[in-house]
Amino acid sequence: MDHISAAEAAKRWGLSERSVRNYCAEGRVPGAFIAGKTWNIPEDAEKPDRLNKRTAHSTSLLSRLKEEKKAKLSGGIYHRIQIDLTYSSNRIEGSRLTHDQTRLIFETNTLYAADSVSVDDIVETANHFKCTDMIIDCAAHVLSGSFIKQLHRILKNGTSDSRKDWFAVGDYKKLPNEVGGKATAAPEDVDARMKELLAEYNAVKEKTFDDLLNLHYLFESIHPFQDGNGRIGRLLLFKECLRSGIVPFIITDDLKMFYYRGLNSWPTEPGCLRDTCLAAQDRFKKILDYFRIAY
């Protein structure tokens, strides 16, 4: 019997290569075997059905998030995403709050801290919960500069940065900044660069996973705000996944260096960022399976 590689099967089945390898490892592709590090798949093998397959009566992730948010349901997927997304995104940017402390702020609006805690970390955590609500409420909306600025205004409201005359909360940066030692768009160019980026992105009707990653890379390259660009960029990425019916993902602290490396190499080697985000997406699918949300 002839065999094909995981890459060939992925192309044939319209999946990521990572998903095909996972199917093989789970024993869901009859006749597949591994030799060294390479999966060999029967040439006539069929794409496995998802264990959590969407049906005509399935509830989408976005619908469930809106329902649970409205009902103020505790312990559901909305609750989980608020805490995990906020903790992970803040952690990447240097927040010292633990996952338990983040949970406590969300659930009780209080905090127990044995050690000193940054007030900005607390304020930005509470603000991030509001930002997450905003991307759920406005998930179906087309991206605009005003929406992105409003997200930034909410995120940085009440922080020490908001008391600085030169720090433009809810507006594009006034001073040049760098990211990872690399130059970003000059303040006077940001407005035009953002308008161009959003016009090109919104012109794409059927957005792919790579379209969303490219938006994220270009947004972070412009670095339109004085601070908070990473968190705003990841919020937008999550929102656009919801809008496009793509399984979203959360970049956790253990993926941080791969994520940064992927952003740096995206123009010449897109596979690095893609694989990192697909790994995060695979983790998120397990959460969806647990809460019985089809995708």
Of the candidates 80, 47, 41, 44, the residue with the CA atom closest to the CA atom of residue 64: 80
Measured distance CA(219)–CA(193) in Å, rounded: 9
Is-contact 177 223, C-beta < 8 A? yes
What are the tens digits of pLDDT across the range 165-215?
999 999 999 999 999 889 999 999 999 999 999 999 999 999 999 999 999
User: Counting Cβ atoms within 10 Å, is residue 241 exposed (0-12), middle (13-18) or buried (19+)?
Assistant: buried
Q: Across-strand partners of 34? A: 39
**What is the predicted pLDDT for the residue at 65?**
98
Is-contact 141 133, C-beta < 8 A? no
- pTM, to two decimals: 0.85
Measured distance CA(277)–CA(258) in Å, rounded: 9
CATH of domain 61-290: 1.10.3290.10
Q: How confident is the model at residue 21 (pLDDT cuts 50, 70, 90)?
A: confident
**What is the predicted pLDDT for the residue at 119?**
95
So where are the chain's domains?
3-42, 61-290
Q: How confident is the model at residue 56 (pLDDT cuts 50, 70, 90)?
A: very low
What are the tens digits of pLDDT across the range 211-262?
999 999 999 999 999 999 999 999 999 999 999 999 999 999 999 999 999 9
The tokens of 261 are what? 């490396």
